[in-house]
């Protein structure tokens, strides 16, 4: 069964460093999302992406964040200058098409900023 | 702010008991999804409900979407230790849009 994959599973970085989190969505899906979950808190929406453009972004998704689909399979989230409060699980999700309801999540990347 | 409130937040029961988890909002959602999340892993989709009043069954799990599409419930019959986990509801306000998550219900089923 097709699934969303994410790498790395765990990333440790120092404050101020840039990180890139990678995702491979399900192959024929067209809509892509990033969410994050700070330990003990709700899963929060960051950004949605369709047709090589950001469709919607949350207040969390400020100028330090960017997303890219560099090729036909990968979907990346870049944090330019990490802060301690960026420590969280980051989940990528994908959806087949606009009229689909189901979003399928990857296993997540645990980002630890020291 | 659109909120989804889940209750209870924690539930500890004995094997064989029945339970219901509730997901409530003052907002109308175009769809509502239920996920299960294991520690350190991503949410795994269980079911999606779309139509007001819709009921879906997945073995011992019964999901219902409220008539007004503002609330949902998950009922588990004869719970088993394998049902232990974090159950999340998530609503989509506009088709194609983001999911808004509840805070989750941590279920523990003791043998």
Q: Mutate which of A6, A21, A43 to test chain B, going by most B C-beta atoms within 10 A?
A: A43
Which of B5, B46, B98 to substitute to test the interface with A, most A CBs within 10 Å?
B98
Q: Is A92 strand, coil or helix?
A: strand
User: What confidence score (pLDDT) does residue B14 get?
Assistant: 97
- State the pLDDT confidence band at B3, using cuts at 50, 70 and 90: confident
Q: Say yes or no to pLDDT of A72 above 90.
A: no
Q: Is B78:B16 a contact under the CB 8 Å cutoff? A: yes
Q: Is the pLDDT of residue A88 over 90?
A: yes
Question: Do B12 and B111 form a contact (C-beta atoms < 8 A)?
Answer: no
What mean pLDDT, rounded, does chain A reach? Answer: 95
CATH number, domain of A51, equals 2.60.40.10
Judging contacts by C-beta atoms under 8 Å, the chain B residues touching residue A89 are 40
- Which residue is closest to B92 within chain A, CA to CA? A101
A16-46 pLDDT per residue, tens:
999 999 999 999 999 999 999 999 999 999 9
A74-78, B1-5, B85-89, B96-100: least confidently modelled range:
B1-5
How confident is residue B94, by pLDDT bands cut at 50, 70 and 90? confident
- Place B29 in a pLDDT band, splitting at 50, 70 and 90: very high
Instruction: Tell me how far CA of residue A18 lies from CA of A13, A77, B15, in angstroms.
Output: 8, 11, 47
**Which pLDDT does position B1 carry in this prediction?**
58
Cβ contact B40–A108 (<8 Å): yes
Overall number of domains in chain A: 1
Name which of B70, B62, B91, B74 is nearest B24 in CA terms.
B70
CA distance A50 to chain B (A): 10
| Cβ atoms of residues B84 and B36 within 8 Å | no
CATH classification for the domain delimited by B5-110, as one of 2.40.340.10, 2.60.120.10, 2.60.40.10, 3.40.350.10 = 2.60.40.10
Q: Which residues pair with A83 in a beta bridge?
A: none
Q: What is the widest separation between alpha-carbon atoms in chain B?
A: 41
Domain that holds residue A40: 5-113
Closest chain B CA to residue A111: B40
């Amino acid at each position: 069964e097709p699934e969303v994959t994410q790498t790395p599973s765990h990333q440790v970085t120092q404050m101020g460093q840039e990180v890139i989190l990678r995702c491979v969505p399900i192959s024929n899906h067209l809509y892509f999302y990033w969410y994050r979950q700070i330990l003990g808190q709700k899963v929060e929406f960051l950004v949605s992406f369709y047709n090589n453009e950001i469709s919607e972004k949350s207040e969390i998704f400020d100028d330090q964040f960017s997303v890219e689909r560099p090729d036909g399979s990968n979907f990346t989230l870049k944090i330019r200058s990490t802060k301690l409060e960026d420590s969280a699980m980051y989940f990528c999700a994908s959806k087949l098409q606009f009229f689909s309801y189901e979003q399928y999540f990857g296993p997540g990347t645990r980002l630890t900023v020291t | 702010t659109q909120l989804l409130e889940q209750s209870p937040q924690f539930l500890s029961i004995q094997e064989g008991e029945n339970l219901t988890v509730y997901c409530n909002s003052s907002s109308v959602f175009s769809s509502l999804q239920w996920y299960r999340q294991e520690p350190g892993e991503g949410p795994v989709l269980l079911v999606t409900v779309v139509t007001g009043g819709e009921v879906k069954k997945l073995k011992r799990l019964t999901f219902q979407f409220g008539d007004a599409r503002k609330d949902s419930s998950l009922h588990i019959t004869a719970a088993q230790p394998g049902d232990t986990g974090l159950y999340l509801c998530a609503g989509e306000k506009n088709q194609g849009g983001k999911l808004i998550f509840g805070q989750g219900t941590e279920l523990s089923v003791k043998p």
